[in-house]
Structure 1
Amino acid sequence: MTEYAGAPGPTPHPPPQAAPQKAAPTPPALAIRGLGKAFGGRVAVNGINLDVPAGSFYGLVGPNGAGKTTTLSMVTGLLRPDQGQVWVHGVDVWADPVAAKKAIGVLPDGLRLFERLSGAELLSYLGRLRGIPTEVVTQRSGELLDVLDLTGAGDKLVADYSTGMRKKITLAAALLHSPPLLLLDEPLEAVDPVSARIIREVLHSYVRGGRTVVLSSHVMDLVEDNCTHVAVLNEGNIVAAGPLAQVRGDAASLDDAFFHIVGGRDIAEGGLEWLRSSQD
């Protein structure tokens, strides 16, 4: 059709709008898939799966021998798994161990330290190993020693540290490079109440800053008072996992829930009667 003067032209169509992009989901701070390890035919960790949300204070609990330390050793790259994979903030621990370990701070079971260094020297040495500039190491070391109440012991040899002081200097070493994920194996075991309170305050401050803590312990009260999430490991299997309230359920306490989850057994009526007797 011929257009005439003043006739409206074709109605213009607006340019196509791009579909709104959904933000990519934040990967878990720690993701475990099919992780397993056996020693001499005895299964220590039985192909477990677990996601630890970023920004959580996550408790890993279980009876002695449940596989907690073995699991953390594989997560940190200290022990090679027989099967499975581990990712730290999306980085495969075994495919790219250097990048993964940069994102991890570790307080291991069994404190192996450089005994003939002072606390300040230990932090300086470890900071240089990680390639942190000297002035940054000096600043951070001073702040960590101060916050952890170790300033007066900074020049003291680690060999002369008490158990609580050794835990605190190891925590300082784990925090020195400001990692997004902190893995702690029994951090308050054999620690005096003052040191324990300082460590808890530091960990809560760390989590409030958006970082993630995974705390392995067999002390239910410690986990219930501090953690937002919990996983129960028993005989190498994850038997419960999720937010603390969900795992605790209707039980009066996490200790009660744990007792029933792992199949604990009460002392039978009349058992150990001889302990209640005053007779020889």
Structure 2
Amino acid sequence: MSYSNPEPVTPALSIRSLGKRFGEKVAVNGISLDVPSGSFFGLVGPNGAGKTTALSMATGLLRPDAGQVWVHGIDVWADPLRAKAAMGVLADGVRLFDRLSGRQLVTYSGLLRGMDRATVEERTEDLLRVLDLEDAGSKLVVDYSAGMTKKIALATALIHSPRLLVLDEPFEAVDPVSAANIRNILADYVTHGGTVIVSSHVMDLVQRMCSHVAVIAEGNLLAVGTVDEVRGETTLEERFVELVGGPGHNEGLPWLHTS
């Protein structure tokens, strides 16, 4: 009896030789990686490492100087409409239409995706409920706290039930209760076939939440693999510090010593 090899699973995201320069500054230096379908993938690095630039290029928000990106086999820059339909994106630092109410913003996002109004209305109410924004749904987004704004932006990324979620610093300014709620939503999404990419510089969070991780610093990819492969026998935070160089000065500030 002969057995045929199973067809390889197309990665949720494939990046090849992706590069971006701003003047003399190399922001992303020809990185390549695959994000497995069904994974919870963390992209970690210090501030200014190139995480946001890399994710902006991967999601079609910023044109790369070099390289290619595919989302479930769809070329992001050759077929952007089809690629973006498969993604939900929470971008860092991108303004929302904050003169809309939370309910209006999520509804608008669904209709913009071509969804029918009845489905949009049903999903909008579901999202406001699970993200604890029901009472804030009628308030203008401009009046939201930083954490509420992050949550309503996540709702706009989820409304069309994408195959891939790309979230840039999704837990920044979010209170612990809301953060736990978001983690549960994302874990359930991955369990049922979705793929999540999150960028963060909080190693403990990534170690507890993610199945895979990539470490980036100064635009270079330093390590990629499962969390266990990357961290080895240490914690992810210790491995991260080792990879990016660690603190350069350990003598402290003697003038702060009060005794």
Same fold, judged at TM 0.5 (above): yes
Instruction: Provide Cα deviations, 1:115-153, integer angstroms capped at 9, x if missing partner.
Output: 121111111111111100111101111111111111111
Residue 256 of structure 2 aligns with which residue?
A: 275
The alpha-carbon deviation at position 267 of structure 1 amounts to: 3.9
Distance 2:122 2:158 in 1: 13
Find the partner of 1:37 among 9, 14, 20: 20
Note if 1:56 corresponds to 2:39: yes
The correspondence of residues 246-257 of structure 1 with structure 2, limited to 5 A, is 246-251=229-234, 253-257=235-239
Secondary structure of the residue aligned to 1:178 is: coil
Q: For the Cα contact (< 8 Å) 1:87–1:93, is it kept in 2? A: yes
Find the partner of 1:141 among 124, 132, 152: 124
Secondary structure of the residue aligned to 2:89 is: strand
Note if 1:107 corresponds to 2:99: no
Q: Which amino acid in 2 is paired with 1:275?
A: L
Secondary structure of the residue aligned to 1:190 is: coil
Distance 2:26 2:179 in 1: 33
Residue 172 of structure 2 aligns with which residue?
A: 189
Query: Radius of gyration: which is bigger?
Result: 1
Residue 154 of structure 2 aligns with which residue?
A: 171
Q: Which amino acid in 2 is paired with 1:236?
A: G
The alpha-carbon deviation at position 265 of structure 1 amounts to: 2.9
The alpha-carbon deviation at position 57 of structure 1 amounts to: 0.4
Residue 58 of structure 2 aligns with which residue?
A: 75
Q: Which amino acid in 2 is paired with 1:265?
A: P
Residue 264 of structure 1 aligns with which residue?
A: 246
Find the partner of 1:216 among 194, 199, 202: 199
Distance 1:143 1:202 in 2: 12
Q: For the Cα contact (< 8 Å) 1:111–1:166, is it kept in 2? A: no
Q: TM-score, normalised by structure 2?
A: 0.96
Q: TM-score, normalised by structure 1?
A: 0.89
- Unpaired stretches in structure 1, ≥5 consecutive residues: 1-16
Q: Which amino acid in 2 is paired with 1:272?
A: L
Secondary structure of the residue aligned to 1:151 is: coil
Residue 209 of structure 2 aligns with which residue?
A: 226
Q: For the Cα contact (< 8 Å) 1:55–1:211, is it kept in 2? A: yes
Q: Which amino acid in 1 is paired with 2:229?
A: Q
- Give the CA RMSD over aligned residues: 1.5
Instruction: Provide Cα deviations, 1:162-186, integer angstroms capped at 9, x if missing partner.
Output: 1111111111100000001000111
Distance 2:138 2:247 in 1: 50
Q: Which amino acid in 1 is paired with 2:194?
A: R
Residue 4 of structure 1 aligns with which residue?
A: none
The alpha-carbon deviation at position 273 of structure 1 amounts to: 2.3
The alpha-carbon deviation at position 20 of structure 1 amounts to: 5.7
The alpha-carbon deviation at position 266 of structure 1 amounts to: 5.7
Instruction: Provide Cα deviations, 1:5-50, integer angstroms capped at 9, x if missing partner.
Output: xxxxxxxxxxxx9x76543211100000000000002111000000
Instruction: Provide Cα deviations, 1:60-103, integer angstroms capped at 9, x if missing partner.
Output: 00111110000000001110000000000000000100010001
Distance 1:48 1:273 in 2: 41
Distance 2:6 2:209 in 1: 31
The alpha-carbon deviation at position 156 of structure 1 amounts to: 1.2
Secondary structure of the residue aligned to 1:153 is: coil
Q: Which amino acid in 2 is paired with 1:192?
A: D
- Unpaired stretches in structure 2, ≥5 consecutive residues: none
Residue 141 of structure 2 aligns with which residue?
A: 158
The alpha-carbon deviation at position 111 of structure 1 amounts to: 4.5
The alpha-carbon deviation at position 195 of structure 1 amounts to: 1.6
Would the alpha carbon gap of residues 67 and 221 (structure 1) be closer, same or farther in structure 2, given more than 3 Å must change?
same
The correspondence of residues 231-242 of structure 1 with structure 2, limited to 5 A, is 231-242=214-225
Q: How many residues in Structure 1 have an aligned counterpart in Structure 2? A: 259
